[in-house]
Amino acid sequence: MKKDITIVSSMVGAGLEREYLLLKALLESNGDYVMGVHYTDMNSQLHPSDIMISFEVVAPRTLNLSKENWLFPNSEWWDLRNDQFLPYFSKILCKTQDCYDIWCKKVGANKCVYTSFEARDLYKPEIQREYKFLHVAGKSEHKNTESVLNAWALPHDGQEPLPPLTVVARGPKIEAPFLNRRLDDMFPDKNVTYHAMLPDDKIIELMNTHKFHVIPSMYEGFGHVIHEGLGCDAFVITTDARPMNTYEGIVRECLIPVSGVTPYRLAQLNQVSAISVNNMVRKAVQILKSEEAAQESERPNAREAFLKNREFFQRQILDLANAVK
């Protein structure tokens, strides 16, 4: 039986809206009717439905309108003032294993379901891959972007210069220290390209042209940019902390060690040092060059992991939706 489903999210063009659009497309492919609601809007079209799904934010006025209320929380952004509304939710849908563990302790395992999530499939196999590193942070301040940039600014000490790096990031913590200085002064090798913003088609091109993606996230609610990199079959380097170190397709020999931890909401933020980023970047280059010389690879297949995760998520969600009577 097809369902009438309402999705409550933040519709301002950021990550939550992207997640809404991905979930909407999946449910509509199942024949369900889906309506999106911005969490602060008093939408006159809001009506009783079979399932109400909330992404991170809670709109109290919606909680008595549906047969079932489901919540996709982001542990690092959960507002404890919303704890009072948790009894309204019959299911807590968890995008990572770390989220599942956190919320099982918070509300009980009987309410929690590990679903994972899916990222956009940006794979362009016809594009030639290059020996370059890519760091895409967007507006996020939780990607250890400063450590990545500083890793390329470290002296060589007799070693080869690092391969070229492209950075796409914006925000005061990045722009203030870096945009006010000439890149050539910071990076004498002239091997760093910085963009505050780029159109989506250009970012997709970069994600396919760069063989390496370095995304040492402090924490991830799901990790869209990491999974997009895996989908592009990139060599993805990230942080040796949950949930990042639990993703299939990650090169575990190149997980970047944590140098400091800060509790944050229901999660924790993991800092990494520039020297650790530098070391793992060099290790990744050595691994790939050795593989190419031997013409074989023992690394996990990043794209296969991406497709396997997407299939798992889609099956989980559709099974849950179809089970609602």
Tell me the pLDDT tens digit for each residue of 21-36.
999 999 999 999 999 9
**Rounded-to-integer distance, Cα 167 and Cα 214, Å:** 10
pLDDT band at 54 (very low <50, low <70, confident <90, very high): very high
Assigned CATH topology for domain 130-303: Rossmann fold (3.40.50)
pLDDT band at 188 (very low <50, low <70, confident <90, very high): confident
The two structure tokens encoding residue 15: 């990550």
User: What pLDDT is stored for residue 45 in this prediction?
Assistant: 76
User: What pLDDT is stored for residue 131 in this prediction?
Assistant: 96
Closest residue by Cα to residue 118 from 315, 322, 325, 321:
315
pLDDT band at 157 (very low <50, low <70, confident <90, very high): confident
User: What pLDDT is stored for residue 182 in this prediction?
Assistant: 67
pLDDT band at 185 (very low <50, low <70, confident <90, very high): confident
User: What pLDDT is stored for residue 180 in this prediction?
Assistant: 59
pLDDT band at 114 (very low <50, low <70, confident <90, very high): very high
Residue 229 has pLDDT above 90, yes or no: yes
Q: 204, 123 in Cβ contact below 8 A?
A: no
Closest residue by Cα to residue 316 from 72, 39, 41:
72
The two structure tokens encoding residue 30: 């199942």
Stretch 237-262: mean pLDDT, rounded? 97
Transcribe 44-88 into DSSP letters. TT---EEEEEEESS--GGGTTSEEEEEEE--GGG--GGGGGGGGG
Closest residue by Cα to residue 279 from 298, 300, 257:
257
Residue 206 has pLDDT above 70, yes or no: yes
Q: Which position has the higher pLDDT, 224 or 189? A: 224
Stretch 1-18: mean pLDDT, rounded? 91
Among 4-13, 127-136, 314-323, which is the least confidently predicted range?
A: 4-13
**Rounded-to-integer distance, Cα 152 and Cα 163, Å:** 9
| DSSP 8-state code for residue 269 | E
User: What pLDDT is stored for residue 29 in this prediction?
Assistant: 97
Stretch 164-176: mean pLDDT, rounded? 83
pTM above 0.75, yes or no: yes
Q: 256, 239 in Cβ contact below 8 A?
A: yes
Neighbours of 27 (CB within 10 A): 21
Q: 231, 119 in Cβ contact below 8 A?
A: yes
Beta-strand runs (E) in the chain: 4-9, 33-38, 49-55, 66-72, 91-94, 112-114, 130-138, 165-169, 192-195, 210-214, 235-237, 260-264, 267-271
Closest residue by Cα to residue 128 from 72, 208, 63, 207:
208
Residue 178 has pLDDT above 90, yes or no: no
pLDDT band at 116 (very low <50, low <70, confident <90, very high): very high
Mean pLDDT of all residues in the chain?
A: 94
Beta-strand runs (E) in 56-190: 66-72, 91-94, 112-114, 130-138, 165-169
Residue 222 has pLDDT above 70, yes or no: yes
Measured in degrees and rounded to the nearest 5, phi and psi for residue 68 equal -135, 145
Distances (CA, A) of 244 to 73, 258, 301, 313: 17, 12, 17, 17
Residue 175 has pLDDT above 70, yes or no: no
**Rounded-to-integer distance, Cα 244 and Cα 208, Å:** 21
pLDDT band at 137 (very low <50, low <70, confident <90, very high): very high
